[in-house]
Each structure stands twice: as structure tokens, then as C-alpha cells.
Amino acid sequence: MTITCCATLVGQRHIVSINSDWQFSKMGDTISVNLPHTYNNVDAFDDEPGYYRGPVNYFKFLHTADLDQEKKHFIRFGAVNQVADILVNGKLVGSHVGGYTSFTIDITDELTYGVDTLEVIVDNNHNENIPPLKGDFTFYGGIYRDVELITVDDSHFSFDHYGSDGVYIDPLRVEGNAARIGVRGYVENFDEKTQKVVVSIYDNNGKFFHKMSPPNYSESNGEWKLFFDLKDVKFWSIKNPYAYKFVAEIIDTKSNIVRDKISIPYGIRSFHFDPVKGFRLNGKYEKLIGVNRHQDRPNIGNALTIEHHIEDLDLIKEMGANFLRTAHYPQDKSITDYCDKYGILVSIEIPLDHQISLSEEFAEVCKEMTLEMIHQYYNHPSVIIWAYMNEMGLGKKIDRDSSEMWSVAALAKEIENLIRKEDPYRYTMIPNHGDFDVYHHFGLTEIPMLVGWNLYYGWYEPDFKGFGRFVDHAHKIIPHKPMLITEYGAGADPRITSNLPERFDFSLEWSYEFHKSHIEQIEQRDFIAASAVWNMFDFGSESRQDAVPHINNKGLCGFDRIPKPVYYLYQSHLRDDMEKSNQESSINAPTKYDSYWSNNTQLFINMGTSFSFVPENVSSTWYPSESIPRGIMQIQGGNRYIVRDRGIGSDRAISLTDLDPVYQTQVQDLSNINFTSPNGIYRIVLHYSSLSTKQKQSQIVKINNSLPIAMIPSQPFQAYSITTITEVEDERINLDFVSDIGKTFINGIQIFKL
């Protein structure tokens, strides 16, 4: 494939996509792929524990005969997770560590200007020196963002400055309707005697606004600087994200030929976080209400196209959000481009999540990631916060983990100082989980400029109102620190509804009540400057074994991007043009024997639960046993099996099934279940699984005095079912349970009238 498609020409800079026609090899197997690509889009969601984390190889031919041999040629990778070695014609030309920022490799000296080979060795193995070491999300491997071939003049703006384009805009002073703006950058092979750097500013309509050449140029590091004093400025805001266009050019002074050119849309704004009154943009207080976002989707993992990213942001914008936290890593540049254009404020953080290594190399990698993040996203007016740690005290005790936590604090100080030096115009933040004393004791509430709290009252912790008590206490102890709620949320399986919602049942109704309470508590407190729901979308987390295995389903939308009812709750709250949402339960359980069986030929019962369950792509509902009236079903004995201190059923995925919510709940210690049903022939399916590695279970079941049926689960957390046919002659289906080992039990029952 020749590299002539998808090209754009910006000044003398030529950029072409090289996403197509790659060969991908893993463990000896080779297939053809196009980029973006991940090799964990399937195995991170199967029933086998773990997913492949190791080396793979990407390879393609570059047809370079038409490239200008007098120019420089670079390969830019949007992101590769997490270690990449780049080879051209078999020679190593560059490497990169870290899976969430872009990097550029100079390949000029290795090209033959015929047919060249480009090879990328990728490894997403766990590495103690590379964050993230832990995290509640899947660490997909692969070249999962776009790859471009860039051709530029020998004199060009530098690509070597932490993966950026080498030009930066500084909002030195913004007040009244005036602003002092600095523009600086780095150039390669620049001759000050015959060349000049010119920066021009155009308004939102493309009309010329201002122009200036830099007053000084440093030969030592290729840096140049200039300053603009602008009057009658139109400011960038949430409702009117006005953007000027800054154009930087390298121009020959004699021929007036443009050697390189970069265009940067940039909005001028001022902002301030107040510890009492919240957030102020251009002097006006704004309540920031928004979401967190992970970057993966079904079947493709994190290998999203730009169109996918834009679809996600369209949903966020349509909901009415004005704030986005790109947890827990920098995301594709199309995200911040969109937020610049549509007025969504952004917090970005490096993937330093839950745990550190004590090695010096780990600290250096963290700082390099921080520098790449800052420089690559520096010119985006939507970005107002740099964050760099998440929940570092999770599971920690003040006395037991003192040494490790002081090391965390020491690293935090290093990163904090680095950020403030590199970007004095934005705020810094560390998001913490809800153990105030741990973070305050080790100074993590004092080191950053902002304090973020990840709070789950009504989910991991009981009582919605505990949220208000926590934030009031934190505000009282550290009244000088602006506060953000960086996470809050409740799991919601789109298949589960309940008339009697309870904590950790994963019902849509509990999620709805959770968010309704939290919206009210956040709005009541001006000192909460911003809040971000965890999460906008359900996302992959391979180690999770909830109702939907390998998925964290706290999203306002499903993994498939279909909004849940709680999405519309936020939409009605955030948008004045939307009607107020009023969630109603969707359970319509059978009420009477005669009316039910006259209109239906089947009954599915989920034992030991108060929620109903509708599997994907199936119209049948599994009704909770607790909702079935005695006129249809009677149980003798029996108790809901309580597996843990919160929620309904097991928190373990069940193998060999997609009906996990059926097998995760159970009634134990019952002797009989009796159904009232019309006479006829029925198919009965009994579903069962063992929900404990310690508890042995074996039983005999008799249906209408038929031959006994043995129900013996040989493996815990595995789905089993038994099907039998029975004839009803006295309007009764009778199930007798007799224990062989342990307590009697049943997880689900299906009855089909034939």
C-alpha cells in the first residue's frame, strides 16, 4: 500500500495516515489488521481468568519512493500500550514507555526511498517501573490510536519536546476585556540570519487580528518567545466557546517561502477555584457537573476511531454536562478538541492509580508521563486541571502503611513542583477515596491545589446521606482547599429492575435513587466546585465478577452506549429545555394464577432476589421470587442466601453462562416449592450453582412425585441446569427438595407450558 491516502497539507507540513495494511503477530500466529488495534478485545471478556499481557509484533511495508529526500520524515503514534520499540528496516530507531500519550520518531536516516519496513514491538506486560500498577480497568495492549507519517522541511517546529508540536500559548494575564498572551516554541535547524518565526492571530471568522515576530531567539536550545497585548478580547466560555486561531510560521526572509506552519485554535479565558463559593470562569460562578470517561467499547476494546470518540462526547454534550474527567489517563486528542469546541471543561491525569513502586525509575517514568501530558495538551483552553494520583490510600492504614504512604507523599511533592514549574496557569489535583484521615495525615490534602474525593455512599458505603456528612467534615477540617467530587456512582445492570431496590442489587432503580440523592446534596453545597459521575459509560475491568462479568457497570450509559434511565435524570436536571425525569419501576410480576396463565405460556423465576432480570436480545423476564404472589407460587422454608455484607447474591462471575444474575442469587434450606398452574404438559428447567468454595452442596429434587433428580454442582461458581418434562393433572407443579450434603438450594426455575 502506498502512503498517499488521507493526506492533509498544512503549510509545508504533510501528514498522512498509515493505519492500513499491517501484519500482527502474537505467539507465532500472524493476521492482517488495520489500526487502531488491540489484542485484548476478546480475551479480557472471556471466562478464563486474566488476559494476555506480553510482547507482540506489528509490521508493515512503507512505499517511500515518492518522498522528498531533502525533507525530514517522522512517524507519530497516538498511543501504544505500554512499551514500544520502533524499527525501520530492522534497525531500532526509537522507543517509548507509557501507554496513554503520543510520541514521534525520526525515521529520516533509515529510509531507502523505495520499499522500507516498519516494525513495532509492543509489550503490555506488568512492569513494576511503569504505572498503572493496579486499577479497576483493563490494560489493553496494542497500537490503539492512529499512526501518521509526517514530512516537514529541514527547518521545522520541534517534535522532540515531549511529543508535542513544539509551540505553546501562555495566558500570562487576563483581566477586564484585555489579555497579555505569550507564545513560545522550539525550532530545529533554524537559521536566525535567513529565517524568522512569525505568529499571526485570526478571529473566529478568520479575520486577521494581530501579528508579531519574536523579539529573541535562543541558539542554545532552539527556543523562541514573543508577547501579545490584546484589547477587546472575546472570551472562551461554556456557552460561547469562542476561539481565536494562532498561526506560527517559519519563513525565509529573502524568498518569503513558508518552511513550516502550525495552526492552533485557542480560547482566551480566566478561571478560579474558590474554597467557599466554588468555580469561577471569566469572573462568573459556574457549577461544574459532569462525568468520568473510559475509552473502551464492546468487541474493539480501547481501539476506538475518532468517530467513536466523537459519538461518546456527543452523548455527554447532549446530556448537558459541562465537565469531564478523563480518568485515569490522557485520552485521544479528539476528546480535548471536542471539549474546546463545545465548551466542556476538562481534568486530565497520568495513570498513577492505587499503587507506586519505590524505585527511582518508577518516579522518573511518572515525571516523564507528567511532562508529556502537560506539553501535549497545553494549548487546549478546555483543560483546567492536571491530576497525577488516584486513591493512593485505598486499603492503607496510618500505622501499618506509614512508610509506603510517606513515599507516596514524597513523590506527590516532586510531581506537584514539576507541574507548577511547567504550567503555572492551571490547577493541580489529587483524587482520594473516602478515608479522610489517611490522606490528611500524610499531607495529600495539602500538597495539590485542589482536593478531589471519590465517594460511594449508598454503594460501597451505606446511607446516601453519608455523602453530605463526609464533605461537610472535610470542608470543616480543610476550609482553605477547593473541593471537587471526582467520583460517585452505583452499579446498574440494564437487565435488572426492582420494585424494592436495595444497595448493591445492581438494579436501575437503586442507581436512580442514588444519583437523585447525590444531585440534591451536591447542589446544596456551593463549596463543591465540580462533580463527575463515575462513569459515563460501562467499561471493561477484567477482574470484576459482578452481574456482568469483566464490566464495571456504574455507567450512565451501557457498554453499548445505550442510555440508562439515570442518564435522563441528569439530562432533565442539567438542561432547561428537557422535562423533569420521573423514573418508574418496570417490574410487572404475575399477580393472579388465572390471568397470568391465560396470557402466557412460560414463567421464569430468579430465586432469592428482589430484582427482575431481562437478558440481552431476549423478551422474557426473570421475575424475582419475592415478587411472585402465593396464589401462583408458595415456598416452604427457605432463606435468601446472604453471601456478603452488602447487596444481593455473589460478587463472583459464573462460568459457562450469560445469565449471571440468575446464578448469583439463591434460596437455601427450603423443602418445597408449589406452583398453581393449568393442567397440561410442562417443561421444567432447574438452574443451580454453588456460591461458595467452602460450602459443599448436594441434593435430590422430585417433581410431582417423579423419579428423583440429583443436583450436584461439581465446581463452585459454575452454571448447571437440569431439564425435565412433567404432566400436570391437579393444577399443581410440586417440587420437593431433599438434602444430601449441606443445605438444599435453588437459583432459578423456568416453567414452559407445552
Active site residues: 391
Distance in angstroms between the alpha carbons of the first and the last residue of the chain: 59
Instruction: Compute the distance between CA of residue 138 and CA of residue 714 in angstroms, rounded to an integer.
Output: 30
Take residue 149 and report the three cell numbers written for it: 507519517
Closest CA to 363 of 412, 405, 330: 412
Cis peptide bond upstream of 216, omega within 30: no
Contact between 130 and 225 under an 8 Å Cβ cutoff? The reply is: no
198 burial type by CB count under 10 A (0-12 exposed, 13-18 middle, 19+ buried): middle
CB contact at 8 A, 689 and 711: no
Q: Is 31 exposed, middle or buried (0-12, 13-18, 19+ CB in 10 A)?
A: exposed
DSSP 344-390: -EEEEE-S-BS----SHHHHHHHHHHHHHHHHHSTT-TTEEEEE--B
Q: Note whether 463 and 508 are within 8 A (CB).
A: no
Three cell numbers, residue 470: 463526609
> What are the helix and strand counts (H, E) for the chain?
10, 46
| Cβ–Cβ < 8 Å for 40, 142 | yes
| Pairing assessment for the beta strands 680-688 and 748-753 based on DSSP bridges | antiparallel
- DSSP tag of 625: G
Partners of 718 in the β-ladder: 655
CB 487 within 8 A of CB 454: yes
For the purposes of burial, counting CB atoms within 10 Å of the CB of 413, is it exposed (0-12), middle (13-18) or buried (19 or more)? middle
Residue 339 has, within 13 A of its CA and on its CB side, a CA count of: 28
- What are the CA-CA distances from residue 14 to residues 3, 38, 131, 153 (Å)? 11, 27, 34, 10
Asked if 601 and 680 touch (Cβ cutoff 8 Å), the reply is: no
DSSP conformation letters of 106-165: E-GGG--SSEEEEEEEEE----TTSS-SS-SS----B--S-EEEEEE-SSEE-STTTTS-
The dihedral through the CA atoms of 749, 750, 753, 754 has a sign that is: negative
Amino acid at 597: W
Q: How far apart are CA 615 and CA 591, in angstroms?
A: 22
CA distance linking residue 348 with residue 351, whole number of Å: 10
Which helix or strand (DSSP H or E) is residue 573 part of?
helix 565-574
- Residue 128 contacts residue 362 (beta carbons within 8 Å): yes
Q: Angle between the 508-523 and 466-477 helix axes, to the nearest 10 degrees?
A: 30
Q: Is the bond leading into 309 cis (omega within 30 degrees of zero)? A: no
**DSSP, res 580:** P
